Chain A
Amino acid sequence: MNETTLIGLFIAVLEFGTLLYLAALGETIAEKSGVLNLGVEGMMAVGGVTAFWAGVETGNPWVALLVGVIAGAVFSALHGIVSVVLGADQVVSGLALTIGGLGLAAFIGQDLVVEPPGARFEATNLGPLSDIPWIGEIVFSQTAVAWIALLLGIITWLVLTRTRLGLILRAVGESASAADSSGTSVVKTRMIAVMIGGALAGMSGAYLTLALAPGWSEGTTAGRGWIAVALVIFGAWQPGRVGVGALLFGGLLALEPRLQTFGVEISPILLSMLPYLLTIAVLVLLSIRSRNRPSVAPAAIGSAYRREDR
């Protein structure tokens, strides 16, 4: 272990953290409105493949990122229509989104497998900031997408906790009928939240195929959408805590290959189980804590809202 390998580790922590945070932040917004979306993995794949395709076609990473974001949002609208508008089971619809999304992405990407990346996000050079030892290399050389993720995290936190919009979103997620009776459109609010979630999952997928591992192959998301779903619970539905969790889980992903060069003998398979084990541990802690206090989970999560059923 020397300076180069340590700096490399921290760079990778932030890279994987960015990937997980974008998807988990989107899922946090959707779940805050009371909609569980298990389709993160599928939305990431759709966002990833469309962004990669747009990169090949245009050569512009920003256009590619935008295409991935829009594709994720449009694709997530399926989940919104099925589970929010029609009131179908959120778990079934979300799982269908994952399975369907992986299939759709594979179908779209059939001819992209042998394509070299047309566009990618490079490390940014912030001049003197990037020249600072350690911090400059680790923090101020990240791609622009990492900064966007940080910015979106702060905005989400501000909106959720400090604005009327956030209050409405949380109200819909806590008690849809109460929100409805106060004149809020539950369906509209939830649809928007689900589509923002899809947009961010799409951005996460685009970050994967344009920056973290440039290229497209079927299965390239490799289960990271599920880590993002677990991350939301781990972070107790709070953008800040989810961010800390993203760094922790991203750190585990970054550590896997590096432990070998550091000479630590831990099976990488055990390491890849850790995010899920930690999530279960947090669930246990949360349920113990919430015996005397209200649960931190949005109360209406997973249940469809129909006015007539009130």
Chain B
Amino acid sequence: MIRTMQRLMALLAVFTAFTLFAAACGSDASTDTGTSGADDSTEADTGDADETDDTDDAMEDDAAGDGGDVKAAFIMVAPIGDAGWNFMHNEGRLGAEAATGVETAYVDSVAEGGADFDNAVQQFIDDGFNVIFTTSFGYMDATEKFAAENPDVVFEHISGFKMNDTNFGNAFGRMYQPRYIAGMAAGAATETNKIGYVAAFPIPEVIRGINAFTLGAQAVNPDAVVEVNWTSTWFDPGVEGNAAQTLIDAGADVLTMHQDSTATGEVATAAGATFIGYHSDMSAQVDSYLTAPVWDWTGYYTDIINSVKDGSFAPAAYWGGIADGLVDISIPDSSPVAGEMKDVREQIVNGDFDVFEGAIFDQDGNQITDADGNLVVDLSDPFGNAIGAVGDAMNDGILLGMGFFVQGVIGSVEG
């Protein structure tokens, strides 16, 4: 009897352990979904392809015949289910898969700078993947190393600055362009003239977005100020909501954020404030949603995969803007400045307007650039590296290393 009981318990223990193990592998299982999804979309594609472009198809078939099958892999730093950065990269992956018909796969929650990343990339290479997208800043050095060791595999790194001449490029988006337009919507919407900005870390990417947003807000409402609250996390809804409430308490009636969750929007809704999102259209999740600067990686991923297919791939440092479709913003018709926002968007697309053109002052009132957009002071990035000297024009290098707040921002760039 006792023996039987012990056997039963041992069985139960094995079952429990298995359940826990299976649960822990929950996110891995989605990798399979990603791969198998390729079959569906390939089928869908053959249906659609006839209607689109015959010459394109012929070209692709030739390339495939020469260079073998193209398979694209994606490495992501956090769960794709976070509704933010990684979610939009996965949307881009699915879009590119549908557009090109190639097989794609991904792994998410891969830590930066560790053995996890090396294992994931090596596994993809061993499985015959020949285009690998690494979508987090901290993957940069490891991606460079893999690119050097695997000349037959194309590597594209997102949000970094390293590349080589043969098989390693990088890409990022000029998110500051739609941020400026979002700022216009905020400037027109605020009645207290204080806009709250929940932000992750004081790095150039985030600082640049805050500055563009503030310039946009002040363009339509010179009295508007933007108060920044740093959370020191990309993703923590509790902390983000807490920071958002702090800004509401400090008098903000419009909130926006540079985070990966919609917690700021939830607080804005509860407080009767207006919410401007980021990353994706959050209108379905947040009642107080007005608009959001959004990513769309589909076109870029499709272009890279097609260029590998037809053998025309050449590494580049790609910084796409609204004109390229990589970033954009939907203009809410309800906004009193919808017309102006449309005009500015049009001018940005045509190259007639640049967000950081003209005279710019820092938050203490010191002049940074003159009316022609040339520096009147030497500038360095937040890490102390020189990025521009007196007389230099405001160029991409300065934008990429931006370490000061413009006039109208309340908060410290020290974080």
Which chain A residues have a beta carbon within 8 Å of chain B's beta carbons? 4-5, 7-9, 12, 16, 19, 78, 81-82, 85-86, 88, 96-97, 99-104, 106-107, 109-110, 113-117, 208, 212-215, 217-220, 222, 224, 253-254, 256-258, 260-261, 265, 267-269, 272
Contacts and interface: CB of A to CB of B under 8 A. Distances in A.
B81 A217 contact: yes
Given A12-B246, A104-B24, A107-B26, 4 more contacts: A109-B81, A115-B285, A213-B238, A219-B82
A217 B231 contact: no
Contacts of B284: 114, 116
A100 B83 contact: no
Interface string B287-302: 1000000000000000
B266 interface: yes
Given A104-B26, A222-B236, A256-B242, A5 B13 contact: no
A88 to B, nearest CB: 7
Contacts of B231: 256-257, 268
12 contacts: A12-B246, A78-B19, A78-B20, A88-B13, A99-B20, A103-B23, A110-B30, A219-B235, A253-B238, A253-B242, A260-B230, A265-B414
Given A257-B243, A261-B229, A218 B16 contact: no
B386 interface: no
Contacts of B101: none
Contact of B9 (A86, A107, A109): A86
A217 B236 CA distance: 9
Contacts of A261: 227, 229, 246-247, 249-250
Is chain B's interface secondary structure helix, strand, loop, or mixed overall?
A: helix
Interface of B: 9-10, 12-13, 16-17, 19-21, 23-27, 29-30, 78-79, 81-83, 87, 227, 229-233, 235-243, 245-251, 260-263, 266, 284-287, 411-412, 414-415
Nearest to B287: A116
Contacts of B240: 213
Contact of B23 (A88, A104, A110, A219): A104
B246 A113 contact: no
Contacts of A106: 26-27, 79, 81
A106 to B, nearest CB: 5
A241 B100 CA distance: 62
Given A5-B249, A88-B13, A222-B236, A257 B242 contact: yes
Nearest to B33: A110
Contacts of A269: 232
Contact of B239 (A81, A96, A256): A256
Contacts of A218: 27, 79, 81-82
A12 B29 CA distance: 38
Contacts of B237: 213, 215, 217, 220, 222
B27 A107 contact: yes
Contacts of B261: 213, 215, 217, 220
A279 B212 CA distance: 43
A214 B287 CA distance: 13
Contact of A103 (B26, B87, B238, B247): B26
A205 to B, nearest CB: 12
A213 B232 CA distance: 17
A116 B10 CA distance: 43
Contacts of A265: 412, 414
Contacts of B232: 267-269, 272
Contacts of B239: 222, 253, 256-257
B230 to A, nearest CB: 7
A22 to B, nearest CB: 14
Nearest to B23: A104
Contacts of A215: 237, 261-263, 266, 285
Contacts of B24: 99-100, 102-104
A82 B19 CA distance: 12
B263 A213 contact: yes
Contacts of A110: 30, 81
Nearest to B414: A265
B285 A268 contact: no
Contacts of A81: 12-13, 16
Contact of B249 (A8, A103, A213, A214): A8
B359 to A, nearest CB: 29
- CB-CB nearest 5 A-B residue pairs: A107-B26, A8-B249, A100-B20, A104-B23, A213-B237
A134 B217 CA distance: 34
A150 B235 CA distance: 30
A8 B79 contact: no
A212 to B, nearest CB: 6
Contacts of B250: 4-5, 261
A102 B235 CA distance: 15
Contacts of B251: 4
Contacts of A117: 266
A12 B412 CA distance: 23
A217 B266 contact: no
A213 B20 contact: no
A117 B262 CA distance: 11
A267 B21 CA distance: 38
A213 B246 CA distance: 14
A8 B30 contact: no
Contacts of A7: 249
